[in-house]
Amino acid sequence: MDPVLIIGYGNALRGDDAIGWHAAQQLSEQVADERVIVKVCHQLTPELAEWISQARAVAFLDACVDGQPGEIRAAAVEPDLSASGSLTHHLTPGGLLALTQTLYGTCPAAVVFSLTGERYALGSGLSPAAAAALPALVARVRQWVEGQLG
């Protein structure tokens, strides 16, 4: 089937760190297409490599600390071979792509969508700036998905 894979991640107990998590939750409720798989997770783990290997394209959704609160960015991601050997607490999208390539011999096109947050302290809920920009992030990812499905 070669699905489009969306992976939203972040810590739901650390304020705006949960931006990717919230965006993926919304997308899982809004996108009713069997060719789209949405994963919501606390962090990137090696187990995601199998899902990535079966995808035609993958989008990573995450919070960002650089930039103005509420700013949305999208950037292509390439396998990062220097990070693939590190299966520690923090696996990056590039490291996960490299791991996928190493284990499965394939790696789809990938992009990271990020939204700059402003509050990362303990506590649930997004800051006003992140909450206000979240619908625009979700819309941008939906537009990307439609382009991938052709």
The span from the CA of 7 to the CA of 21, in Å, is 8
Given CA atoms 68, 30, 78, 101 in this order, what sign does their dihedral have? positive
How many other C-beta atoms can be found within 10 angstroms of the C-beta atom of residue 145?
Answer: 19
Q: Output the pTM of the full model.
A: 0.94
Cβ burial of 25 (10 Å; 0-12, 13-18, 19+) is middle
Q: How far is 138 from 104, CA to CA, in rounded Å?
A: 30
Q: How many folded domains does the chain comprise?
A: 1
**59-76 pLDDT tens trace:** 999 999 999 999 999 999
Cβ–Cβ < 8 Å for 52, 19: no
**CATH number of the domain where residue 122 is located:** 3.40.50.1450
Amino acid identity of residue 74, one-letter, is A
Residues of the chain where predicted confidence (pLDDT) is lower than 50: 84
The pLDDT value recorded for residue 89 is 52
